[in-house]
Chain A
C-alpha cells in the first residue's frame, strides 16, 4: 500500500516546514491589505528575500544575519512599491506586477554566482524532552526556530489588529481612508509602514525557502509561492489564524503530493505537481462563492487610490 509507507509524524513535520514560507508571506500581505493596499508584488519580494538572504548567509556564514538581510531585501522592494503607489499614486495592480517582474529578474541577476552552493545550516531548536515525546516530538517539536517564531508572529499580528490602538487605526485606514483622513490620521504613513512590514515578511518567507526548505538557490525558485500567499489571504478572509490554518492545510497538500511522487504513484510527476495550484484555485472558488461572509470582511478601501483633496 502506497499511503501506508508514509509516516504521519514525518508528514506532519514536513508540512510545518512547507507551510512556513507561505505563512510568512501571507501574514505580511494580510496586514498590507488590512491597511487598504493590494500588493501583487509578493512573489517578487519573496524571491528577492530568497536571494539576498542566501547571499548574505553564505558570505557571513550566519543564517541569522541572512534572515535579517532577507527582510531588508524584501523591504527595499516594498519601499519602491510604497513610493510608487503612495507618493506617485500609481495603479496598485500594475505596480505590483512590475514589482514581481523586476524582482524575478533582479534576483536572477544577483544570484547567478550562487547557483549550486550549499548555505550554512540553520540548527534545529533544542526543545529538550519535548522532542522525545512519541509522535508529537517528531511532528511538532523538532523544528528550527523560524517555524515557531512564525507562529508567534501570527499571534502578534492577531493581537495587534484586534486589541492595539495602532491596529485599530490601521483597520480604520483600510476600511475608509476618507474618514480616517477627516479624523486626522495619516493615511499614507500608515500604509507605507504596512507595506514595509509586508515586504519584510515576504523577504523572510523567501529566505526560509532558500536557506532552510530547499537549501540552495535557483532562479525563480519561489515558483508561485507569492501568488499562493496572496490567495491564502483571501482564503483567510483577512483573519490571521485562518491564514495559518490555510497555510498548514496547503503545506499538507504540497507534502502529500511530494510523498506520493516519492512513493512512485502511477501518475506522472507533472500532474501531481500541478495539484497545489489547482487546489489553491478550488479553495478560492469555495471561499469566494460564500459571498456574504468573505466580502464583508474585505477592507472597504482595498485597492482604492487615496489622494487628500483638502
Chain B
C-alpha cells in the first residue's frame, strides 16, 4: 500500500444558486493515477480549483502528506508540489514557449538556462518542443506539451490534468499516456479529470465519480464496465440515438477545391477542400481543435466568403453569398461557440430567435420586425426542444450550456433547412441534452436534409455519421463510409496520414 499524498475531507463550495461541491472526500496515494469522473457541471472543475488554490472551500479541509493544506493562491499550491495542466485559458499566444513556461513557475531560472531545461525535459518525456517559438503558432497538441513541460519542470508531487485528451488524436493520446505512466512510475501522483470512460479504464488506478456536486463512488475503474461507470456518472441508463436506415438523395451541398485564408492571424487557413453531401446523409468531420474547424463552418455558413462557384447549394453557386442569402436557399448552421457567436449573451431568447430566424421565417417585413411572430417562433423552439427556461424574455447567458445549446440547434432545425452544418453540437453539454441534440439531427436527416457534423468527439461522430472525413491543418481527408472504420484509421486520418495510408494499401 502506497502512502497517502493528498486527503480531501468534506470539501464544500457553494456559489449563489448552486452548490458546486457538497461534502466531497477522497484520497490520492503517491504515484497513483486517480480519475475524477463526472459530467459537465458535476463539480470537477471547482474541486480541482480548490486543490490548486484558485478557489477557497467554504467548508472541509485538505491534508498533503499529513500536513494541513489550504492554498490561498496557485503559487502556494505550486510551492507545495501541486501542478496543473488546464483545459483552456492558460497560455499566451504572443509570448514564446520559454516565457510561457516561466510564467507558470515559482522561481524560474534565467530564460537562457530555462530553454535548455525545456529541451532536456521535453525530450526525456517524449514531448519535443522548441522553446523559442511563439505559442500562437503551435498546434493544439504542442500547446498542451507546453503546459505539461511547464508542470514537469517543477517536479510536482501531484499533477492535475483537466480533460487533456480532448485536443489530441488517438495516436497523441497514446504518447500522452506513456508519459503519464512514466511519471506515475517515478512516484508522481496524477489527478486525471475526464468524462471519457474508456480512457479512464485504460489509464487510471482509481476513480472518484462526482454527480451534481456530490461524490457518488470511489472505485477501481478497471473492475467496472464502461456502462456501469456511465450509469454512476449520469445517474440513469441512456439509450443511444436511433439511426433508422434512410435513402440517400441528390447532392445538396458541394465544395470544390476551395482554399481560403483565415480571418484570424492565429487561425488555420483552408487548403484545397473538396467534398459533397447528399440529402439524408450525415457527414462527420473529425479533427483536433484548431485544424480549421471554425474556418470550415464560417465558409459554409457564409460568414467567410469564397469564390462563388466553389460552393454550391442545391446546384446553385453560393460562395459569394452571405449567411442570410444562404439561409433563404436552405442552409442553416450552428457554430461551436454558443455564447457570443450562435447567440448574443445579453439578448433575450426572443431576440436570439430572430438572429437566424428572420431569413426563413418571414419575421421582418421591409425591415420592420414582427416581434409577436418572433416570440411565437422562440416559444416553438423552447417547447419542441424542451429548453428549460422561465420564458422567452430570459437572456441567453442566463441559460445553462445544455439548454442554450438545445435552443440554438433547435432554432436552426425549426428553420427546416435542406442542409445543416453544426460544429461541436454537444460540447460541454450534459448527457441527456447531448442525446436529445444528436437525435434531433438524425431525425432531420431522416426527413431528407443533408447534415454536416464537425466534432472533436469521436464517439459522437461514430454514433451519428454515415460518412466520415477528418480535418488536418486546414486540409480535409477523403470522405469515407463510416461503417467499418477503426479508431486507428480515424487517428491516421486526423493526423493527416489517412489518405497516404489508403494509397499505400492500394499500391501494395
Contact = CB atoms under 8 A, between A and B. Distances in A.
Interface of A: 165, 168-169, 171-172, 175-176, 178-180, 182-185, 292, 295-297, 299-300, 310
Nearest to B136: A296
* SS of A interface (majority): helix
Given A183-B104, A184-B73, A176 B49 contact: no
Given A165-B102, A168-B102, A169-B103, A184 B75 contact: yes
Contacts of A171: 92, 94-95
Given A168-B103, A183-B104, A184-B54, A310 B94 contact: no
Instruction: Name the residue in A168, A169, A183 with the highest tally of chain B Cβ atoms < 10 Å from its Cβ.
Output: A183
A310 B49 contact: yes
- Which 8 pairs of residues, A with B, have the shortest CB-CB distance? A184-B74, A178-B89, A175-B92, A179-B90, A182-B90, A179-B89, A184-B73, A176-B92
Contacts of B86: 179, 182
B53 A172 contact: no
A179 B102 contact: no
Contacts, number: 60
A176 B265 contact: no
B91 interface: yes
A295 B92 CA distance: 15
A198 B95 CA distance: 23
Contact of A179 (B91, B99, B265): B91
A299 B95 CA distance: 10
B93 interface: yes
A175 B93 contact: yes
B167 to A, nearest CB: 15
A297 B78 CA distance: 31
B265 A292 contact: yes
Contacts of B99: 168, 172
A310 B88 CA distance: 14
A168 B91 CA distance: 13
B89 A182 contact: yes
Contacts of B55: 310
A185 B73 CA distance: 9
A275 to B, nearest CB: 33
A168 B95 contact: yes
A296 B94 contact: yes
Contact of A300 (B94, B102, B108): B94
A168 B114 CA distance: 15
A183 B104 CA distance: 6
A180 B90 CA distance: 7
Contacts of A179: 86, 89-92
B54 A300 contact: no
Contacts of B78: 184
Contact of B95 (A172, A182, A185, A296): A172
A307 to B, nearest CB: 13
A60 B88 CA distance: 56
Interface string B56-77: 0000000000000000011100
19 contacts: A168-B99, A168-B103, A172-B99, A175-B93, A175-B95, A176-B89, A178-B89, A179-B89, A179-B90, A180-B92, A182-B54, A182-B86, A183-B74, A183-B103, A184-B75, A296-B265, A297-B94, A299-B94, A300-B94
A295 B265 contact: yes
B98 to A, nearest CB: 10
B93 A176 contact: yes
Contacts of B91: 176, 179
Nearest to B76: A184
